[in-house]
Amino acid sequence: MSESESIPQIGQVVRVLRGREADSYCVVIEQLNERYVRIADGEKRKYDRAKKKNINHLELVDYVSPEVRESIETTGRVTNGKLRFALSKFLNDQVLDLKKGEQIDG
């Protein structure tokens, strides 16, 4: 594993690979150490009840939410609404990328 992909950043979107929440997307809200982070999605997993997760059980996505990162850096926390917004923005961008050039069935 290369050095750049092994360390998730605050505000980075990740896909959960293992556990009950497998295949769901969350946002990294805290780096605990080189092996663990805390993640939340603002909906099922609120900021106040963030999940401690081994980074080996996460797939790092090449997307960092500037709103989440800025909020955590300035206030030390982030609202659940902002987490939901960041994830929906990311997922909408992903869908748009997949649909480019394809006919969308209505």
Report pTM.
0.86
Q: Is residue 26 in some structural domain?
A: yes
Cα–Cα distance measured from residue 13 to residue 6, given in angstroms and rounded to the nearest whole number: 14
Q: Is residue 104 in some structural domain?
A: no
The total number of structural domains in the chain stands at 1
Q: Is residue 22 in some structural domain?
A: yes
Cα–Cα distance measured from residue 45 to residue 73, given in angstroms and rounded to the nearest whole number: 21
Range with lowest mean pLDDT among 41-45, 86-90, 91-95: 91-95
Q: Is residue 17 in some structural domain?
A: yes
Q: Which helix (DSSP H) or strand (DSSP E) does residue 91 occupy? A: helix 80-99
Written as six digits, the tokens of 42 are: 């603002």
Cα–Cα distance measured from residue 75 to residue 15, given in angstroms and rounded to the nearest whole number: 25
Cα–Cα distance measured from residue 85 to residue 27, given in angstroms and rounded to the nearest whole number: 11
Q: Is residue 74 in some structural domain?
A: yes
Residue 60 CA from chain centroid, whole number: 8
Q: Is residue 106 in some structural domain?
A: no
- The tens digit of pLDDT for each residue in 9-63 reads 999 999 999 999 999 999 999 999 999 999 999 999 999 999 999 999 999 999 9
Domain that holds residue 92: 7-98
